[in-house]
Structure 1
Amino acid sequence: MLMKLQFPRNIWVLALTLALTQGALPLMVLVSGLLSSEIAPDPSMATLPLAVLVVGTALSTIPAAWFNQQFGRKHAGFGGILLSLVGILLCMLAGAKASFSLLITAAGVLGVSAAFFQHFRFAAMESVGNAADIGPALAIIMLSGIVAGVLGPELVTLGAWLLPEAENYLGAFLLMALLICAGAVVFSRFQNTVSHQAQYEEAPRPLARLLCQPVFLLSMGVSALGYAVMVFLMTSTPLSMHLLDGHSLDDAKWVIQSHLVAMFLPSIFSGWLMKRLGAAPLMLLGSALYLGVIAVALTGQHVIHYWWALVLLGVGWNFLFLSGTSILPQSYRNNERFKVQAANDFAVFALQAIASLVAGWVLFTFGWQAQLWLCVPVCGALVLLSIAALISPRYLRNPAHAG
């Protein structure tokens, strides 16, 4: 469905760059908790590096937006790639020295790089000429996550095979560093489409006024709550499976890989669905899938229960994040985009950081079932937001009319 659409070269450059570089994040999802459980002072701190990564992203959203505004998308993109490389090299050093503090530092740097990578989706929206193509273009960017989602965790196995004597996932981190360098070469083909020095006729509106718009609150709320639930459950899944329920590392890897694929594979058709139906129906479907996650996960803690729950979680996140992001441009003019994008990403990743920070504590203190029940009211809120978007004439069903 996506292949029938013609997109500028920038879209494909951005997608391939992310496919090569973003594997660092799923790699950290799989190994950071396991490595931390071996080198951290206390096993309950196992999710701290991943939480620091998310906090680093949240705290860097505003500086990343400023950097994009001052120096343009291309220079900012190279900055994110460089930070990602530094973060992975610090992970290697942390593993070699068995240093928990270094691992936390590395996670923080990777979090900062992720804030820069988030602007790739905004660069993609700026690269299409028709508002109706925003959803499909975003879907292609998200589709690149399949490669990253599979490749990142798979580097653990490949690295151990290539460097059997290396400990603490050093081989995986080394291979990831090489992929990031390849991503930098691909990104060199990107071209800025909107000059950051352009002059505008209308003065930008005050930020407070922009943030009070119902369309902004809807976009931010759906993206933030959807991301928070996903991270809250995904962060704890490998620990719950491997450390508490005794499932093998291979089983945990399979579940995480399946989840990451489920986050991005639906982009093959979700962009087309949104173009045909609009953002609001896709939001409602994603919210319903989140309720399905809770229902499935509460029935048991065998591998198959984790697998189905995490797959549904991934698909639901795809629908929520795609639909929420696609309507964000309706809340700003061109000369207002950076501050609105910064505010949106700060809210999304601040809530994600909180979810990540408390995930390990909730798991080790109350258990997996408690985590699931805590998600129920949030999923209910997502359903209500989706229904409000569906029945309100303010929220356009067809993104072709967005403006």
Structure 2
Amino acid sequence: MSQSTSQRGDAEAGAEAPVGRWWAGRGKQIGVLLAAQALYLCTISVDLTLSGLVGYKLAPDPGLATLPFGLITVGSACTTGVASAIMARWGRRAGFMLGTTLATIGGLVSVVAIRQDSFALFCFGALCIGFYQGCAGYYRYAAADQVAAEFRARAISTVLTGGIIAAVSGPFIATSLMNVTAIEFEGSYILVSVLSVISMGAVSLFRDRSAAAVAAKGEKAAKPDKSSQLPYSAVIRQPGFGAGVAGATIGYFFMMVIMTVGPIAAMKDGHGPEARTLMIQLHMVGMYAPALMAGYLVRKVGVRWLQILGTVLGILGVGVGAVDDSEMGYILALTLVGVSWSFLYISGSSLIALSYQPKDRARTQAFGEALIMGSSAIGGLSAASLLDNFGWSTLNVIMLPLLAVCGAVTIAHRTPKPEAAAGA
């Protein structure tokens, strides 16, 4: 797609809404994605809250209790490339529908697993939820592609505000329905399927009318050979891509490690279940509530400085975790880590969204998502081992060099200009 074509597409989008509205006639599509994000996070919060407990109940060995939780991140990491290819071939909606369908299956399989006391089936159900996560990770990119390049960060942060609903209601609903039927936990996983069906209805309303989607259709019609695809070495060199991936991957890795073992470490330090529940709830609020102000901060200081702010908050969070093992220390550490992840994820995703031309959208997003979800999987799977080997305080100290690298990469990389991302 030529630059004039892309600019014409943006101009047409802007003509659909009054001047000054950043969503430029894409309000309905942004709203659909916001609703889908909220439903997705409410759905997955059931597994985040209960998978360890159900795993402990069903697993033949207590050491395997967290395996279902780890399989969620593994499934997500394995799905990103496939989901991107499906969306490039048949459109965003097809990929989103696939994700919600797999989540419905995952919820039903988990119900059967609980009824039959089958740990293997429960693991498969968790894996299906991971597949859903891999598809839903593209909601924010779909939102970014609906608007002009200079508003992509605002679109991403707006869609991620859907997580606030999940942060407040998800864990509460999950635990409230644990005993709604005669079989413990069954009601919670019935809810997973119900929410997934509702989400399926929401994403069915999505219509991708972005300039990038037009470019993708043009590519499909032209049927280019694979040699025309941007090589991964060139993807990495795109302005802003490296900094974006550094922020999002390091943010996801250290957040997954701290979130996964924080409650375990708190239990070992003698803190009760009420304190552990509160620290996870505030952690989740910290993850998604800052999205409300992220758009404002991007306008005031820019995406790059938002990522640096996220890095600083992460350093503060693990610093508190390293020196304070009191109840308040855990709560403050996990809350700061949640806010840090929010800023790193939003800024990293925004930098990736600004790095590519429309024709390179699918390949760039898929590569970025594979790296981000891969780091999440590694963090989730390695967290328990890291805690056992190093302990809570040292584990937090280990995160400091990673965050320092994130800050250094962010400072060293040049930020792509929005107008550059709009061209071809």
TM-score by length of 2: 0.86
* Local SS of the residue matching 1:23: helix
User: 1:197 pairs with 204, 212, 217, which one?
Assistant: 217
Q: Per-residue CA shift, 1:281-311, capped at 9, x if unaligned?
A: 1111100001111121123333322211111
206-215 or 321-330, which deviates more: 206-215
* Local SS of the residue matching 1:192: coil
Find the counterpart in structure 2 of residue 103 from structure 1: 122
Letter in 1 for 2:186: L
CA distance in structure 2 between the partners assigned to 1:218 and 1:176 by the alignment: 35
Letter in 2 for 1:264: Y
CA distance in structure 2 between the partners assigned to 1:95 and 1:303 by the alignment: 33
CA distance in structure 2 between the partners assigned to 1:93 and 1:62 by the alignment: 29
Deviation at 1:402, TM superposition (A): 5.1
Find the counterpart in structure 2 of residue 224 from structure 1: 249
Letter in 2 for 1:215: G
- How many aligned residue pairs are there? 392
The answer to whether the Cα contact below 8 Å between 2:40 and 2:136 also exists between their aligned partners in 1 is no
Pairing 1:141–2:162 present? no
The answer to whether the Cα contact below 8 Å between 2:179 and 2:186 also exists between their aligned partners in 1 is no
Deviation at 1:218, TM superposition (A): 1.4
The answer to whether the Cα contact below 8 Å between 1:37 and 1:43 also exists between their aligned partners in 2 is yes
CA distance in structure 2 between the partners assigned to 1:216 and 1:175 by the alignment: 38
Pairing 1:151–2:148 present? no
Q: Per-residue CA shift, 1:26-52, capped at 9, x if unaligned?
A: 222221122223332333333222211
CA distance in structure 1 between the partners assigned to 2:391 and 2:304 by the alignment: 34
* Local SS of the residue matching 2:86: helix
Using the aligned pairs only, state the percent identity.
Answer: 28
Q: Per-residue CA shift, 1:151-202, capped at 9, x if unaligned?
A: 3211233203644x331x2221122322222222222221122244324999
Pairing 1:75–2:99 present? no
The alpha-carbon distance between structure 1 residues 402 and 339, as it changes in their structure 2 partners (threshold 3 A), is closer
User: 2:47 pairs with 28, 34, 53, which one?
Assistant: 28
Letter in 2 for 1:239: I
CA distance in structure 1 between the partners assigned to 2:265 and 2:61 by the alignment: 16
Q: Cα RMSD over matched residues?
A: 2.3
Find the counterpart in structure 2 of residue 94 from structure 1: 113
The alpha-carbon distance between structure 1 residues 250 and 31, as it changes in their structure 2 partners (threshold 3 A), is farther
Find the counterpart in structure 1 of residue 203 from structure 2: 187
The answer to whether the Cα contact below 8 Å between 2:322 and 2:394 also exists between their aligned partners in 1 is no
Unpaired runs of at least 5, structure 2? 1-19
CA distance in structure 2 between the partners assigned to 1:157 and 1:356 by the alignment: 22
The alpha-carbon distance between structure 1 residues 97 and 161, as it changes in their structure 2 partners (threshold 3 A), is closer
Deviation at 1:230, TM superposition (A): 0.6
CA distance in structure 1 between the partners assigned to 2:41 and 2:57 by the alignment: 25
The alpha-carbon distance between structure 1 residues 199 and 62, as it changes in their structure 2 partners (threshold 3 A), is closer
Letter in 1 for 2:28: R
227-236 or 271-280, which deviates more: 271-280
46-55 or 311-320, which deviates more: 46-55
CA distance in structure 1 between the partners assigned to 2:105 and 2:50 by the alignment: 18
The alpha-carbon distance between structure 1 residues 10 and 136, as it changes in their structure 2 partners (threshold 3 A), is same
TM-score by length of 1: 0.90
348-357 or 34-43, which deviates more: 34-43
Pairing 1:209–2:227 present? no
CA distance in structure 2 between the partners assigned to 1:301 and 1:32 by the alignment: 26
The answer to whether the Cα contact below 8 Å between 2:322 and 2:393 also exists between their aligned partners in 1 is yes
Find the counterpart in structure 1 of residue 33 from structure 2: 14
Q: Per-residue CA shift, 1:294-330, capped at 9, x if unaligned?
A: 1211233333222111111111111111111112133
